[in-house]
Structure 1
Amino acid sequence: MNSILGAVMALVMSYSGEASYPGVAVAITKGDQVIAVEAYGHDSTGAPMTVNSKMAIASVSKSFTALAVRQLADAGKIDLDRPVFGSRVTPRHLLAHTSGLSDRALPEKSLPQPNTPAEAVERAQQALLSAEPGTGFRYTNTNYHLAARLVELASGEKFNEYLKKHIFEPFGMRDTVAIDVTPRDLPPDYRKGFGYAYGFSMPLTEPDRFVAGSDGVITTAADMAKWLAQQPKLAPQDGMGWETDDQGRLRHNGIWFTSTAGQLLTPSGYGIAVMANSGITLGNEGTHALENSLADIVDGKVPAEPTSYRLLTDLVLAALTLLSLVLYVRALRRPRRFHKAWQVLRLVPLGVLLALPMLLGVLYGGRDITFYQLAHYSLPLVVWLGVSSVMNISVAVVRWQR
């Protein structure tokens, strides 16, 4: 056991440095037994991370929502295959992301944010009526916002109170809470996560978002160990807040703009949870690779070497920004005689910048993102395109006037 713990510590510390994670917490179980709970690094106040530091688990929260729905289904209060909200969509469709809803049909981050699950249903009503369930997998937080409302209607309790009474407290998760809106509802002892740019980690406030049901659970490594230890009794299923990967493992990841997390259950009976206080950025898509390497360690395999392209990505973008400035100065000092019509091409960087939320949405399967959130995701990318746009437009104006 000591050799496993030593390997885990060495791996997490190595990967944390490689991926620029200021703080990481890990929980590992075998069956219903807790094997290890560890914390590394520091929080945004500079204090050491502990196994009781409150951290966001983002979309890992969906597993808790799915369990709440399953509990009520087992109690006969929810029919998983009966359409809800006056649509053809069933609870099973919502939990499996096969409702026909998508971020393209209902851009859940760009639209005004609801404050409650009931308001989330109102916002989604038109999209629900036109949804064609069962036509394919489309991941969207809206599905789980609606699932949270189902829990309220079936139980007669507020969603977050239901989680506390029927999941957190029975599992002994005393330091775990669920919230509706970030950052408004974050607990007082929650420490900000970090953003990242140009090799530096900076404390940031999570953008304003509705997260009930989809990604609103705030917990600790110690409590996540208790959650994982319950899974053998709960028989988690693919499409019920969990997804099966290409190695037959059940898992779910979670990404905020200031935090990342993931959980994984191996066929050999191990449970792994990872939480990092640094958000998703270009070159850092979460803790997925760290979870895989930890699974290799507990299964007696040689873990893959930790790699991250986070710093390299930002350095390339920084170099492109400097190149844009150099070319701008050169263009002003040595103007060339191009036909004025060609100056229209200088609008291309601006067009890319304006279209960037849509382009990233396509890259991430149609997910929605706002310009403000885009700056959290990759400030260097926004700066490069912004600088390039201003420079090119300035040159075009100067040349047009000559």
Structure 2
Amino acid sequence: MRRSGVRAARVAAVVVSTMVALLCGAAAPAVAATTRLGDDAVVDDYVGAFHPPGLAAAVLTPDGRTRFLLRGTDGRGEPVTEDTRFRIASMSKAFTSVAVMRLVDAGRVRLDQPVGELLPELDLGDPRSARMTLRYLLSHTSGLSNERYDEYALPVAGSTAEVVSDLRGVGLVAEPGTRFEYYNTNYVLAARVVERVTGQDVDTHLAEQVLAPLGMTSTTSTVRCDQQRSDLAPGHIGAFAVRVAVPELPGLCAGNGGVVSTVADMATWARFQTGDGTTASGRRLLTPESLRETHIAQPGAQGYGLGWREVPLPGTSPAVGHGGTLSTFTGDITLHGAGVAAVVLTNSGGAPSELTAALVAVAEGRVPAAATNPLTAVDLVLAGLATTVLLLGATGVWRARRWAVRHGRARWRLVTPVLTVVVGTALPFVVGASTGLTGWGAALYVTWLLPMTTVLAAALVVAGTAVLLARVSHLRWCRSDRPADA
């Protein structure tokens, strides 16, 4: 799916805020600092808080050293190694950005060139689109919005060309360059530009013009996020410490989230990004100015660059990074100062930016913050609510006969279990809608990203249905000729 950490964060934020209200506004615990300063310690901290089945991390230092930290197993039960493949999700955007900037360096496109000149078939039906440039696409300030074109709707588009066709007449929500909205379709269009200019599909172009020169031989990319591959084990969903390997949800990831990589290759990528645009072999891939431009926050982009965003870390040196979130994989990369970087890849949900920040802190001699997982409390509340609902349902079934005797003439009271079923059925859709998701896609995404919400929804439906059937059955019994105490 073309998801970033933003989507998962919105889902979690809605549920977190609801649970906080249910808990009478109890204050969130303060983030503590850990006194354990080793890389292994902070990785173990994170694993203990988020329970990823498999994790691969790399820490780069200015002296050229790289330390790998590996934990757990992949979705097939094999131990995670430096060569285990993970989907890196939205961290893929920086690869598309490099592909575009190489075309800029070669004089084949201009960063401030109108997209309409490069994609004449793109007809948004809005005169403002004539001012939409490549820079605006890469910085998410194009004026395109999920309000007009739902990139999460099912069925998903199957190619970049299909997205261009689907965008016909959708219009913009703002003048290009004036409003930031993190929107994966921007990068689908950037990928389509690469395809039109080079005559290659974006995956082939990345492989030949970006990955091969860097020596990232174990890295590939796919058009679909859910494309199954023999060399890629499935990721996981779950709650608490329970994780289940499941397929990724359907989605178009061309240009915005389709890269599949290893921690060893991502360490190579991080080293390139902290350099001057040359590869380890000395080949120039980008000019220093173009590489630097990708890291610089763009006007009106709220700290977002071109495939990178500013990261608030202590110190005088700027930090940039990017997260990546699908429903079954999460990861993060953070670059700080001269040659300091951290990469984290996991095969389940989580908050890997916490770990990259902690690893960078250790590398720089600072005390890292302890890993904290707010979803643990949310899952506990949801589990408690689901248990309470089932207990109340069981009580309602047990007392259905007594209820029928007392309320046989007030059948409107059946509305309570009916409403319980309705609320349970609607819950995943409502939670999804509150984050901008619609339709069955909303229910699917919420189920994958926050499974305990669906457990609560199922408990409401089961309890409501059981009570309703029990009460209707006993109402029929009360209408028979048998005595009430028979």
**3-state DSSP class of the match of 2:208?**
helix
Aligned to 1:144: 187
Pair 1:355–1:100, CA change in 2 (3 A):
farther
User: Is the Cα contact below 8 Å between 2:271 and 2:339 reproduced in 1?
Assistant: no
How far apart are the structure 1 equivalents of 2:296 and 2:89?
A: 19
1:259 aligns with 2:325: no
Cα pair distance change 1:351/1:32, threshold 3 Å = farther
2:48 aligned residue: 17
Checking the alignment, whether the CA contact within 8 Å between 1:15 and 1:306 is kept in structure 2 is: yes
Aligned to 1:319: 384
Q: Give 1:52 deviation, angstroms.
A: 0.7
Matches within 5 A, 1:193-342: 193-231=235-273, 232-233=275-276, 234-235=291-292, 236-238=295-297, 239-247=305-313, 248-267=318-337, 269-278=339-348, 280=349, 284=350, 286-334=351-399, 335=403
Q: What is the Cα deviation at residue 341 of structure 1?
A: 5.7
Classify the secondary structure of the residue corresponding to 1:385.
helix
1:129-174 deviation per Cα after TM superposition (whole angstroms, max 9, x unaligned):
6764234211121111111101111222110111111110111100
SS in 2 for 1:181: coil
User: Number of residue pairs matched?
Assistant: 390
- CA spacing shift, 1:348–1:388, aligned 2, 3 Å: closer
Instruction: String of CA shifts for 1:25-46, please: whole Å, max 9, x gaps.
Output: 1122235834223322111222
User: SS in structure 2 opposite 1:262?
Assistant: strand
Distance 2:340 2:433 in 1: 34
Segments of 5+ residues of structure 2 without an aligned counterpart are 1-35, 116-121, 124-128, 277-290, 298-304, 476-486
Structure 1, residues 105-132: CA drift from partner, whole Å, max 9, x if none? 2211213222221112112233256764
Q: Kindly tell me: are residues 78 and 351 of structure 1, through their superposed partners in 2, closer, same or farther at Cα, counting changes over 3 Å?
A: farther
| TM, length-normalised to structure 2 | 0.73
Aligned counterpart for 1:100 among listed residues 139, 143, 157: 143
Name the CA distance, whole Å, in 2 between partners of 1:105 and 1:132: 14
SS state at 1:209 partner: coil
CA RMSD in angstroms comes to: 2.7
Please state whether the residue corresponding to 2:167 is helix, strand or coil: helix
| Distance in 1 between residues matched to 2:160 and 2:169, nearest whole Å | 16
Alignment match, 1:191: 233
Q: Secondary structure at the match of 1:169?
A: helix
Partner SS for 1:189: coil
Deviations 1:353-391 (A, max 9, x none): 52534534534xx36653223221122211212221342
Give the deviation of 1:243 after TM superposition.
0.7
Larger Rg, first or second structure (1 or 2): 2
Deviation string 1:316-346 (CA, Å, 9 cap, x unpaired) is 3222212111111223334375976676565
Instruction: Pick from 76, 96, 105 the counterpart of residue 45 of structure 1.
Output: 76
- Cα deviation per residue 1:174-198 (whole Å; 9 max; x = unaligned)? 00001001332x4321111111135
Residue equivalent to 1:127 = 170
Query: With structure 1 as the length reference, what TM-score do the two structures score?
Result: 0.88
Identify if the C-alpha distance between structure 1 residues 129 and 21 changes in structure 2 by more than 3 Å, giving closer, same or farther. Answer: closer
- Quickly say closer, same or farther: Cα 1:7–1:131, change in 2 above 3 A: same
- For the residue of structure 1 that corresponds to 2:243, the secondary structure is strand
CA pair 305-66 structure 1, distance change in 2 beyond 3 A: same
Q: Is the 8 A contact 1:51 1:221 kept in 2?
A: yes
Taking a change above 3 Å as real, the CA distance of residues 361 and 94 of structure 1, as seen in their structure-2 partners, is: farther
The 10-residue stretch of structure 1 (390-399 or 317-326) with the greater mean CA deviation from structure 2: 390-399
